[in-house]
Amino acid sequence: MLSVRTITENPQLVAERLKVKNFEAGSLIDEITGIDSRRRQLKASLDNSQAESNRISKQIGIYFREGKKEEADRAKEQTSLIKEQIKQFGRELAEEEKRLTELVELLPNIPHESVPPGNTPGDNKIVREGGSMPSLGKDALPHWELARRCDIIDFELGNKITGAGFPVYKGKAAKLQRALINFFLDEAVEAGYTEIMPPVLVNEDSAYGTGQLPDKEGQMYHVGEDNLYLIPTAEVPLTNIFRNEIIPADELPRKLTSYTPCFRREAGSYGKDVRGLNRLHQFDKVEIVEIAHPGSSYERLEAMTGYIESLVVKLGLPYRIMLLCGGDMSFHSSKTYDFEVFSAAQKKWLEVSSVSNFETFQSTRMMLRYREKEGKKIHLVHTLNGSALALPRILAALLENNQTPEGIGIPPPLAERCGFDIIGF
RNA sequence: GGAGAGGUGGCCGAGUGGUCGAAGGCGCACGCCUGGAAAGUGUGUAUACCUCAAAAGGGUAUCGCGGGUUCGAAUCCCGCCUUCUCCGCCA
């Protein structure tokens, strides 16, 4: 979320910038400003009452030590009113703070100045394209047909064991998945990311910290018995590693990577987009996360984008990098690039990565800060993350684009990890 | 899951109702000392919020988390989380 200070100190600027996300913030900001000034007044009143109460209590202590019991008793009588005031101010302050947080949480993140305006994916800007389109015959098969023909991914079996959206990878597909994971992790470590194996269940505080709670509650699987959430992305546990931390400036950027399964309920998305591997409830992903100095976070965003691009290039997939317009960006992001690869039999661009700078939107929630080398001042860090990469759609594109009359070719970086370079029919 | 013992500042550790945000030590920063270093020595060393134009200063809160008792809680009571030991179970 945005910090209250940002909002109250630059109300018109915030409102102006949020229009790029098609968000009318004017009245909300007015309300926030009003509540915040009431909050400050209440805080001052509460502090004064508490100071007075502390003074009396100390005095009582002194009376007792001096054996002045009568004075002590008289002083005690003074406290009932002040205690009542403290309770009342405390209640009111808590209410205002709760309301303030609720309202601030409704405001999306401010888009970076380089974010283009727009409403739909059609307004996104293609910033780079690469790779070459495969030339497939008319009889080219979509990946779900190929998977059936080679008997390597079993969607029906997943239905039996769990339900729709939980495919079972078999034989060479299972091995290919493992090769992809290893490839992505090896590359990330080579690029300076520290490999982490985090928990895939997180508590409420963590889900709140990265912004899944409260607004995306319905997107996560919830284990009610223990009040834990299955992660929708490794971003959640990785970023929360730093929750409530103060990092020395010279340790920035911190760079982490992780492979995890990801779980998404995807409530409300049905239809042809969910065909095959295109949209799943459980999928595998390697994620990169960076905790960056505000002064260099956009350089880091470009560096992460360049890194992810190198992966797609090594896999030989045709791709394009989109700069998302204000209306198509996520609520939490300041700037996002999406990576899409072309899946040649479906003739579709599939999103395989999303790289974002959240600036202080997450660090505000989780009190994630850094300490300046000079002056020792403390400020919020910028958090960034990106998929590097999400497996199912990469697999879909690999299967479709590399199909030949004999079978499905495996690109070199994966073949050397699989021990085979073709999945035969 | 059962029984017992713990959780104090960056770290170690004292503190069982009253000037305790917390002794002492280590570490760290700056200064003195030194040719330079070590040793020695002096000072400083949490975070959030409020106040202040800013800095300085002041106020409030925070001793795992949340409630409660009390004029007053690190200290007493209750719930939760967590660590260790033993038992049970188990990949």
HEC readout, A365-423 = HHCCEEECCCCCCEEECEEEEEEEEEHHHHHHHHHHHCECCCEEECCHHHHHHHCCCEE
Backbone CA torsion sign across A25, A27, A32, A33: positive
Residue A213 has pLDDT above 90, yes or no: no
Which residues contact residue A261 at a Cβ distance below 8 angstroms, ignoring those fewer than 6 apart? A200, A282, A283, A284, A285
Nearest nucleic acid nucleotide to A83, CA to C1' distance = B71
Protein A138 CA to nucleic acid B27 C1', in Å?
71
Nearest nucleic acid nucleotide to A65, CA to C1' distance = B18
- The pLDDT > 90 percentage for chain A reads 84
Tokens of A144: 């779900």
Residue A227 has pLDDT above 80, yes or no: yes
Q: Determine the pLDDT at residue A266.
A: 84
Protein A202 CA to nucleic acid B87 C1', in Å?
30
Among the residue ranges A137-141, A178-182, A229-233, A419-423, the one predicted with the least confidence is: A137-141
Q: Mean per-residue pLDDT for A381-404?
A: 96
Q: Determine the pLDDT at residue A76.
A: 85
Q: Is this complex scored with an ipTM above 0.90?
A: no
Q: Mean per-residue pLDDT for A223-234?
A: 91
Q: How far apart are alpha carbons A280 and A390 in whole angstroms?
A: 11
CB contact at 8 A, A116 and A325: yes
CB contact at 8 A, A124 and A337: no
Phi then psi dihedrals of residue A131, to 5 deg: 80, 165
Task: Please name the residue whose C-alpha is nearest to the C1' of nucleotide B46.
Answer: A246
Helix, strand or coil, per DSSP, at residue A221: coil
The domains located in chain A, with CATH, are 4-104 (1.10.287.40), 121-424 (3.30.930.10)
Give the residue among A300, A286, A325, A308 at the shortest CA–CA distance from A382. Answer: A300
Nearest nucleic acid nucleotide to A72, CA to C1' distance = B71
Residue A385 has pLDDT above 80, yes or no: yes
Q: How far apart are alpha carbons A124 and A127 in whole angstroms?
A: 9
Residue A300 has pLDDT above 70, yes or no: yes
Q: Determine the pLDDT at residue A49.
A: 93
Question: Where residue A280 falls among pLDDT bands split at 50, 70, 90?
Answer: very high
Nearest nucleic acid nucleotide to A82, CA to C1' distance = B71
Tell which strand B nucleotides have any atom below 7 Å from a protein Cβ.
Answer: 18-19, 47-51, 58-61, 71-72
What is the pTM (predicted TM-score) of this model? Answer: 0.93
Question: Where residue A268 falls among pLDDT bands split at 50, 70, 90?
Answer: low
Protein A138 CA to nucleic acid B57 C1', in Å?
80
Which residues contact residue A303 at a Cβ distance below 8 angstroms, ignoring those fewer than 6 apart? none
Q: Determine the pLDDT at residue A226.
A: 85
Q: Determine the pLDDT at residue A217.
A: 78
Residue A296 has pLDDT above 80, yes or no: yes
On average, the pLDDT of chain A sits at 93
Each residue's pLDDT tens digit, A393-425: 999 999 999 999 999 999 999 999 999 999 998
Protein A94 CA to nucleic acid B71 C1', in Å?
24
